[in-house]
Structure 1
């Protein structure tokens, strides 16, 4: 081999060595979720999170956000889209695939949640203790819940337990649907984007959702009454997951992994929980502007609902215990973890 050829090869190798690492460290992450972009979590968590990651990576991570299932599929497919690498990151509800993530349902049991911010911090602790195996096929960035859910119903609505009888109500998850049945209603499961049309067409009489989501979906225009519950714990909540494709995370160089790590965990869960809580206020204001009836059931009535709901908790404990979980311990731990953040205990 001539000396000139050897020099050319060496120069080419040197050039490649100089540019390859830079090229390898440029990455685009596509985030996919199910709500319109103006909804509180997309607007006030997902987009700011993306901007934070891009800034802290000096632009070497680019994040593209696709709301309202723009990349295809239905909301229940989101977890598998992240698992399979169809997209890089998703925001979804594990409960959209009933029974697949039984451990998460501890936080969805009746009268479990406090406000979303403390309950979401507790949910991250619970994930680290109990749910790492359930979510082993993805790389969780945050887990959280929404604020305490309540009833939004056409007509006179619900002022006592007996008013639930015969109502067709949309529920988001398996445990919430079980709760609605235990309270005397007929539960109709569907992802939240389908709910406004079902209300407008009379397929359902009402829905259970937090105040936060009523604003983007204009629920106050579709119902006449809203029923909440007095006391430190709400009727129900739903568990959410913000997670990344595992292989995509593993492929990142260490310094970019560090950026993702710095924007993952309990603090991110707390952040999105706070967004959920803050998102409740516009929903309440919209209901007031519409002239709807807003009521809170008093403690003595809430106690009747809690008694009616207890069989749902007992059934879940029995079911997951048969699957190898310690269901009773999980319920007690969930309560204690929530109390730690919500009550300062």
Structure 2
């Protein structure tokens, strides 16, 4: 009989904990993104973010991460997966699929900024009043953008607008497509993971990207020329299903909030600088030709692109964003303030 006392005591204690609500109830959240697991978004951002929350909740919350190449890693499905609750949290690209974030995507218009930090902070500052209607059903954890994008080509050096004529270039979004078309190129919409194969097979002549994905997608193997144009940026979202967030205990919500928002957005400028440096260094080591867009040529591009910018803003207004011009102007104002610091 004495041998059963420890077992009975353990069982009784377990029942008591369960009935009192103090037993640990572990929650596992699914996180998806479209980038390879070697990318800084995965290694420097998403994995540490999940670890911070797990530690903050004393293990109450765990995470399963699905990067690009997994069943939930399709770039075109990140928003719909999290809205539908297929995943709880997703990191995605605003421009794919097209047309879902017309307000946010105004920051993609040419020559607004080359600075990921300023762009990310501008998006986050504007979210509550100007961008929030695009995120219904979502708990927005962060908005951010990359450093100024370059023109990367396999076989042709690009220095001027004339050199852009006829080039088939992968594009990430409608705004960037409009820019490329105005400069004489032919934009080709492709997910980032399909660029390597299409350059290798000569289906496209190159791509526009910041330096970072050139390295993470192995593109320095198929590219030879890089024009540092700093011509555009692209925004990204990091969002959670609002219903899932609302159902979590207060302490878990607090941990998520502390790891997100202002605290998280402030990190992207330094992160992108680090990630881009690695991509450029790899191109240099491979003996590639890297050219800086001259000041004279930059002004030519600006002048040539002004009608495209105006047309895009008008089209955005026609899509129901009545204050598209005001949003664009406010973005320019905030970017100028942040870049002058």
Does the alignment pair 1:173 with 2:155?
no
Structure 1 position 222 matched with structure 2 position 222: yes
What is the rounded CA distance, in whole Å, between the counterparts of 1:22 and 1:170 in structure 2? 52
Q: Partners in 2 of 1:262 and 1:192 — Cα distance?
A: 31
CA distance in 1, matches of 2:190, 2:321: 29
TM-score under structure 2 length normalisation: 0.92
Quote the offset at 1:89 in angstroms: 0.8
CA contact (8 A) 1:169 1:204 kept: yes
Residues 169 and 206 of structure 1 are in contact (CA less than 8 Å); yes or no, is this contact kept in structure 2? yes
Q: Report the equivalent of 2:336.
A: 339
Paired with 1:135 and 1:71, the residues of 2 have a C-alpha distance of 24
Structure 1 equivalent of residue 211 of structure 2: 211
CA contact (8 A) 1:30 1:88 kept: yes
Runs of 4+ in structure 1 over 2 Å off: 11-17, 20-24, 71-74
Measured in 1, the distance between the counterparts of 2:232 and 2:177 equals: 11
Structure 2 partner of 1:314: 310
Deviation at residue 266 of structure 1 after TM alignment: 2.4
Aligned to 1:250: 246
> Do 2:212 and 2:278's aligned partners in 1 also have CA atoms closer than 8 Å?
yes
The unaligned stretches of length 5 or more in structure 1 are: 1-10
| CA deviations over 1:28-51 (Å, ceiling 9, x no partner) | 111111111111111111111111
Unaligned runs of 5+ in 2: 1-12
Q: Would you say how many aligned residue pairs link Structure 1 and Structure 2?
A: 328
Over 3 Å counting, the alpha-carbon distance change for 1:154 and 1:12 in structure 2 is: closer
2:128 equivalent to 1:147: no
Q: Which residue of 1 aligns with 2:322?
A: 325
Cα distance, 1:16 vs structure 2? 4.1
Aligned mates of 1:336, 1:89 — CA distance in 2: 31
For 1:234-249, what aligned pairs fall within 5 Å after superposition? 234-249=230-245
Counterpart-to-counterpart distance in 2, 1:285 and 1:267 = 29
How far off is 1:246 after superposition? 1.2
- Report SS of the residue matched to 1:90: strand
Matched, 1:268 2:267: no
The match for 1:99 is 99
Distance 1:244 1:319 in 2: 29
More displaced 10-residue stretch of structure 1: 127-136 or 206-215: 127-136
Alignment partners' CA distance in 2, 1:113 and 1:184: 22
Look up the SS of the partner of 1:62 in the other structure. strand
